[in-house]
Chain A
Amino acid sequence: MKLDNTKELPETMAAASNNHNEAGQDQATMPVFAEDPDAATESGENQIPESETPPSDVDDSVNAPAATEPAEMPVKDDSNEASESDKSITEEKTEEKTENENPADVAETVPETQVRTESVTTNPPPANNQNGNWGIVGIILLVIAALGAALAVIILRKRKDEGTGKKQKYETIAETVVQQNTPGLQIECGVAQTIGKREQQQDSLYCSNWKDPKALMTRGLVAAVADGIGGLVDGHLASQGAMQAIRSAFLEGSSDDSPSDRLLTYAAAAQKSVLQINQTSNCGATLVSVLITGKTMQFLSIGDSRIYLYRAGALLQLNREHILRRTNEEKETFYGTGEKLTKKRAGALTSYLGKENLTLIDRSLQPITLLPGDRIALMSDGVFNTLSEREIMAHLRRNPETAAQEMIQDVDVHANPIQDNASVVVIGIE
């Protein structure tokens, strides 16, 4: 029963994120409120926060293609796997783009010719790229482009009999495709979450579109997890507000500033958003976020969620936790009376989004150079309080998508009777 739920979960989330893909070319996952994944209302609910997002640019124009998507999918004979459906969307979105005047963060400058070739060849299924490997996608795209161009050339010749001009265009296509497949790093991401034994999903997570090489090269990749603070009633509002603020700040903000300052700006936007929600509510959230630009990564953390770097067979926690344990306040107790704080008190947050006068921010000061094989995992405490570091590490050896999904399944398998909401974003570097 439990297992079933979790198995379905990623799909539900993928559904939610598909909408996002259509909308903003990135994957933002809102919490899943109902446990029954095929409840139609659920995906509706998931979309609600989305439609509220300020970036008006896209949402409307995009919903139409979203509706047509499922109809076209079966042709591709795919197995509902998130990556596959995502991928086909990424391919198709290029063709929608020209018709719909799509958002800034798509590869806007792709020449029209390429768009045409892609639309010609939507039928060949992207056979073996389940894992979203860009290399394979690249090859397939090249083949597709070549086939498509050839087709186009044949058709056009039949029509107009002017071969020379077209030939030139054919070459530009090939160039563009090659160029698009040489980003700084090959990045793959996976996301998953479970509600655990709680009544409400108060975690939210966000991962920008890693499948668009151009966006990766210009804006980079941002990923974040926010854990709505449990004791406070509207924790889910806080974490959702924070993620939406980061998403808008990432998509609309300047990418000229240093990555370190950009992450600070995103955190500030999240803080502002939670403070705003707090005018009519009482809530807070933790935040862990990373920004990958080129071959380097910076991170930022507020609260007690975690960012791990898995490298060379070992796990390293990158961030510090903002909890009372080992602070001056606790030390006085520890050294003064020899008594330790109760476990609960020691775990009390000393910093979180929504706190007035937020001053404790933990962040990398030097960019971390990423290496092939690196895995970065952002997670809420629902994951690492249930799974040991060894268990987390074992999952991180898999590809990012499997890693995220199986990690969350594993959390549910542990059947902790008071299992907290658990969320994870896994980023893989190749």
Chain B
Amino acid sequence: MPLEISCSSCQNTGSREKQEDAMIVSSEQVFATHGFLAVLSDGMGGLQEGEKFSAIATQEMMRSFESEKPESDMCYELLRCYERAQAAALALQPEDEKDGGGATVTAVLIREGKCAYLSVGDSRIYLLRGGGLIQLNREQTLGVRLDERAAMGDLSWGQVKDNGKRKALIAHLGKDSGIEPDLCSHPQELVPGDRIILMSDGVFGTLSDAELLPLLSGDIQICSKSVIKNVLSRNKAGQDNCSVLVIELAMTYMEKR
């Protein structure tokens, strides 16, 4: 059975010593019964290695997706997969959670012409539709919350804009933060030609949306490579690990339903 979703991915360690980003897509065998799942995770080191957590995020979520029965509610299914990974990640943490590592999670589930998405931390999910990019997920960083507190009058704008920890994550895999994953309210209808893109902050921290748009619009097989090439060509000091995963809905897939 031909795969009716095409995707491509590419990553690079940048100027870091090791690759802590991880990506995975579901196997062709489960497509007919389960649909398609893609996960991208950006690991963060503490005493523990970040790559352990990104590996857990991708593998545990995929295991749950491929081995368990699909839920009628795709959003629930993503949550279930995430919770399996979260349980495994928490079990890996040392007693003193402060020194543990963690990982961001972005996941997209596609089934029956619809997609559902989940995000924890500050990686991104984009939808490329009709020649325009739309960020689908919300980054869970301190700055976002601080701005909201300032608007509501709890803090001063000066205070929050100067805060040095604006980019700190308020939620990630491996931490029981009490903050819920960012999850679409309903599975969203897809149309032929739609592309969904997952990426770590090593990509969007270096390239703007305007720079990404033409790169992501190119041929599906080479577009992820050209994104990473372009990131590296900037020679940014301290370039973080960068990973990008592009999914395209082929015509045949859409016509079939």
Which residues of A pack against B, CB within 8 Å?
Answer: 260-261, 264-265, 267-268, 271-272, 309, 311-321, 326-328, 331, 334, 358-359, 361-366, 368-371, 373, 389
Give the shortest distance, in Å, between B68 (CB) and chain A (any CB). 13
A294 → chain B closest CB, angstroms: 13
Q: B179 to nearest A CB, angstroms?
A: 10
The CA of A373 and the CA of B129, in the complex, are separated in Å by 12
**Among candidates A264, A272, A316, A327, residue contacting B148 with C-beta atoms closer than 8 Å:** A264
- Chain B interface, >50% SS class: mixed
Chain B residues positioned under 8 Å from A318 (CB to CB): 134
Residue in B130, B138, B186 whose beta carbon sits within 8 Å of that of A365 in the complex: B138
Q: What residue in chain B is nearest A258 (Cβ atoms)? A: B147
Q: Is the CB of B134 within 8 A of A309?
A: yes
- Nearest CB of B to A418, in Å: 22
Residues of B within 8 A of A272 (CB): 153
Known: A321-B185, A326-B75. A311 touches B147 (CB 8 A): no
**A-B contact list, 23 entries, CB within 8 Å:** A264-B148, A264-B150, A271-B152, A311-B129, A311-B132, A312-B129, A312-B193, A314-B191, A319-B185, A320-B182, A320-B184, A320-B185, A328-B180, A334-B76, A363-B138, A364-B135, A365-B144, A366-B135, A366-B209, A368-B134, A369-B133, A371-B132, A373-B130
Q: Is the CB of A264 within 8 A of B151?
A: yes
Q: Is the CB of B138 within 8 A of A316?
A: no
Chain A residues whose C-beta falls within 8 Å of the C-beta of B180 in the assembled complex: 327-328
Count of interface residues, chain B, beta-carbon cutoff 8 Å: 35
Contacting pair B152 A268 (CB below 8 A): yes
Min CB distance B60 to A, Å, is 16
- List residues of chain B with CB within 8 A of the CB of A316: 127, 129, 134, 188
What separation, in Å, do the CA atoms of A198 and B47 have in the docked complex?
60
Task: Say whether A314 contacts B194, CB under 8 Å.
Answer: yes
Tell whether, in the assembled complex, residue A320 and residue B183 are in contact, meaning their CB atoms are under 8 Å apart. yes
Contact indicator B209/A369 (Cβ below 8 Å): yes
For the complex of A and B, list the 3 residue pairs with the smallest distance between their C-beta atoms, beginning with the closest: A312-B130, A264-B151, A314-B191
Bound Cα distance from A321 to B75, whole angstroms? 13
Cβ contacts under 8 Å, B182 to chain A: 320
For the complex, what is the distance from the CA of A315 to the CA of B185, rounded to whole Å? 14
B residues 151-174 in Cβ contact with A at 8 Å: 151-153, 157
Contacts of A358 in B (CB 8 A): 152
Could you count the A-B residue pairs with CB atoms below 8 Å apart for me: how many are there? 81
Chain B positions within 8 Å of A, measured between CB atoms, are 75-76, 79, 127, 129-135, 138-139, 144, 147-148, 150-153, 157, 178, 180, 182-186, 188-191, 193-194, 209
Q: Are B190 and A314 in contact (CB under 8 A)?
A: yes
**How many whole Å from B222's CB to the nearest CB in chain A?**
23
Cα A326 to Cα B33 with chains together (Å): 24
Q: Is the CB of A317 within 8 A of B185?
A: yes
Partner of A371, one of B76, B130, B147, B188: B130
In the complex, the answer to whether B139 meets A365 with C-beta atoms within 8 Å is: yes
By a CB distance below 8 angstroms, the chain A residues around B190 are: 314
- Complex: A334 Cα to B80 Cα, angstroms: 11
Q: A331-B79, A361-B148, A365-B138 are in contact. Are A315 and B189 (CB under 8 A)?
A: yes
A363 to B148, CA, bound (A): 10
Report chain A residues within 8 Å CB of B135: 364-366, 368
List of B residues within 8 angstroms of A389 by Cβ: 189
Compute how far the CA of A321 lies from the CA of B144 in the bound complex, rounded to whole angstroms.
18
Nearest B residue to A334, CB-CB: B76
> Which of B130, B144, B186, B193 has the most chain A CB within a 10 Å cutoff?
B130
Chain A residue at minimal CB-CB distance from B79: A326
A267, B129: Cβ atoms closer than 8 Å: no
Q: Nearest chain-B residue to A312 (Cβ)?
A: B130
**Which residues of B lie under 8 Å from residue A319 when comparing CB positions?**
185
Of B132, B138, B185, B189, which contacts A314 at CB under 8 A?
B189
A264 to chain B: which residues have CB within 8 Å?
Answer: 147-148, 150-151
CA distance A250 to B133 in the complex (A): 27
Chain A residue numbers with a CB within 8 Å of B144 are 365
**Is the Cβ of B79 less than 8 Å from the Cβ of A314?**
no
B147: chain A residues at CB < 8 Å are 260-261, 264
Smallest Cβ distance from B194 to chain A, in angstroms?
Answer: 7
Q: Which residues of B contact A328 (CB under 8 A)?
A: 178, 180
Other-chain residue from A265, A267, A313, A361 in contact with B191 (beta carbon distance below 8 A): A313
* B76 and A326 contact, CB distance less than 8 A: yes
From B76, B148, B193, residue with most partner A Cβ within 10 Å: B148
Residues of A within 8 A of B178 (CB): 328
Nearest CB of chain B from residue A296's CB, rounded to whole Å? 10
Give Cα distance in the complex from A362 to B144, angstroms.
10
| Chain B residue at smallest Cβ distance from A359 | B148
Q: How many angstroms between the C-alpha atoms of A271 and B184 in the bound complex?
A: 25
Q: How far is the CA of A320 from the CA of B148 in the complex (A)?
A: 16
A46, B183: Cα distance in complex, Å:
39
Residues of A within 8 A of B132 (CB): 311, 368-371
